[in-house]
Structure 1
Amino acid sequence: MIGKTSLFGPVNPARDAGYDDPPARKGFFTDTSICIGCKACEVACKEWNEVPDNGFDMLGMSYDNTGSLNANSWRHVAFVEQPARPTAPPVDLGMPTLLHDGVADDGQQTTVAGEDRPDFRWLMSSDVCKHCTHAACLDVCPTGSLFRTEFGTVVVQDDICNGCGYCVPACPYGVIERRERPEAAKNVGIAQKCTLCYDRLGAGMTPACAQACPTQSIQFGDVDELRERAKQRVEALQAGGVTDARLYGADPEDGVGGAGAFFLLLDEPEVYGLPPDPVVTTRDLPHMYQRAVVAAGALLLGAVLSFLERRS
């Protein structure tokens, strides 16, 4: 597979990787406003990809029992509990909700006094590998085990990865990780992350997580189409009074050239555990190499001049 030729800026990732006539880039649009935290995506991912459990310990962090994305959790549903904020009249987000003034979830008229409303809200989001346009994990891999697929996604080849771990600190999102446990699991010591169900894509199927999502919070399709759909969803929410609605990772001009998996958020990215302004960590490599060459040339010139002076 031909490596990427550009380390920064908008590109077609599959074509840039050497595919002459690739299909439309595939990806995820995760609409967190309709995520109900059921974790069906986590279970479906584990079952299809034979990802071992991560212990499922109660972490003291709300109802979250996986904690974060890691080698044994390729999908992670975050539960963020916040104090309720003074808001305009409730806006229908298209998902099951608690009772609000006027209409109950079953469609019957009802009235709930303001003091009886909950004094908190949940922000839930199913996180996943971003399948960046410019993927630093791929750039630094010395064995070629990480490669760009014809769908524009980034996949680890387990039989080639030597477990060096260079990809781990290269990821600006902290997604990829070497599997360390359980000892009986396959691919222990090997870098692991979401493949966007590459095997299912090749068979014309929907990735397991999106297939299992009961609210269509996780939407799969062509990235360009998903970006337009996401933009329209944000505009609708903001017009309805949800002024905090925003897109994350959908901008081709951002620090990773736009993500193949992007999100509609209802608060700042940091609230969800996402970096506010991620930048591909290999962006400055050409400049670093140029400076290194200049420095090495200066040292060599100094050594030559010193040698000539001593000869004279």
Structure 2
Amino acid sequence: MERGSGNFCGVWFETLTRRRFLWLGVSAAAVLAGCGGRADAPPAAPAPDDRRYGFFFDSTRCTACGTCRQECQRENGLAPELALIRFNVVKAGAENRLVWRQTCLHCTSAACVKECRDGATVRGASGLTNFYREKCTACGDCAEVCPFGVPVLAGSRGSKGRDRLLLRCTGCPDRVGSGQDTACVTSCPYGALLGGPRAALWVTATQRLEEARREIAGARLYGPGIYGGLGVISLLAAESRRYGLPAG
């Protein structure tokens, strides 16, 4: 199966390789169901004593200003054109828009961790998916299996190995391991991104959801119920399919 691009249900996509298609069969079915109007399932709350580090992303507050991306690049010593965080902005009516922050969602059942042959992508002690660039050979296997299309290979088309650079969130293992928040969390000026123990973040997320529903009827939480539970709890303003995400 060759790569290409197209438009399906109003969302642009990259045609999957055969390998990635086999990995993502369940996700593809979820997207197809979503296009037919399937609603997201109610998310399951993390255990009350879940102290794994996680994130809460409030898409209703995010302006896609790029401050978190800039701080992430500074923290990782990356050039401006090499971004570990991307933003997808979808028009939703004449005045409204949906903002999605495209970066690692730290799946508990992470296909990238299972697939990595070099030990570069691992489950960290904090509960986040950690990436160690010095071990990465840029084989692209993790990019093939990620259901959210997060890892990106930068470099000349057709180049291999060290001629390419894999761009993906590192999980800031040194910062989190020493009790600090990740670089992106500390830089958000709008309170759209928070970090901390997942049980505590769930409390904040449910409070924010209640506030959001006073103005946004379609507001919902996304993440805890898919891929073993995402390490990022997200507050969405509409169904996940409107953001181009698998049903969750």
Shift of 1:208: 1.3
Give the TM-score of the pair, scaled to structure 2: 0.71
Unaligned 5+ runs, structure 2:
1-43, 157-161
Runs of at least 5 residues in structure 1 that lack an aligned partner in the other structure: 1-9, 13-22, 55-71, 84-118, 182-186, 278-312
Q: C-alpha distance in 1, partners of 2:205/2:123?
A: 25
Q: Among 191, 195, 205, which residue is 1:220 paired with?
A: 195
Identity over the aligned pairs, expressed in percent? 32
Write out the 4+ residue segments of structure 1 that deviate beyond 4 Å after TM superposition: none
Question: Relative to 1, partners in 2 of residues 1:47 and 1:268: Cα closer, same or farther, differing over 3 Å?
Answer: same
Q: How far apart are residue 218 of structure 1 and its match?
A: 0.4
1:78–1:163 distance in 2 versus 1, CA, 3 Å:
closer
Name the SS of the counterpart of 2:102 in structure 1: strand
Match of 1:154 in 2: 129
TM-score (norm 1): 0.58
How far the C-alpha of 1:32 sits from its partner, in A, is 1.0
Q: What do residues 54-113 of structure 1 show as CA deviations (whole Å, max 9, x unaligned)?
A: 3xxxxxxxxxxxxxxxxx321123322222xxxxxxxxxxxxxxxxxxxxxxxxxxxxxx
The verdict on how the C-alpha distance between 1:148 and 1:125 changes in structure 2, with shifts beyond 3 A counting, is same
Give the number of aligned pairs: 197
Q: Which has the higher contact order (CA 8 A, sep 6+)?
A: 2
* 8 Å contact kept, 2:131–2:171: no
Q: CA deviation at 1:188?
A: 4.8
The equivalent of 2:221 in structure 1 is 247
Counterpart-to-counterpart distance in 2, 1:212 and 1:195: 16
| Distance of 1:42 and 1:131 partners within structure 2 | 17
Tell me the alpha carbon deviations over residues 176-217 of structure 1, each in whole angstroms, 9 at most, x when there is no partner: 123326xxxxx6524331122222212322211111111110
* Partner residue, 1:143: 118
Q: Secondary structure in 2 aligned to 1:123? A: strand
Q: Give the one of 33, 38, 59 matched to 1:32.
A: 59
Aligned counterpart, 1:77: 87
The structural deviation recorded for 1:246 is 0.6
Identify if the C-alpha distance between structure 1 residues 133 and 39 changes in structure 2 by more than 3 Å, giving closer, same or farther.
same
Secondary structure at 1:142's aligned position in 2? coil
- The Cα shift of 1:34 comes to 1.3
Give the secondary-structure state (helix, strand or coil) at the position aligned to 1:173.
coil
> Which segment is superposed worse, 200-209 or 210-219?
200-209
- In the other structure, the counterpart of 1:165 is 140
Cα distance change of structure 1 residues 157 and 196 upon mapping to structure 2, 3 Å threshold? closer
* 1:165 partner amino acid: G
Report the AA paired with residue 276 of structure 1: A
Aligned equivalents of 1:180 and 1:271: distance in 2? 31
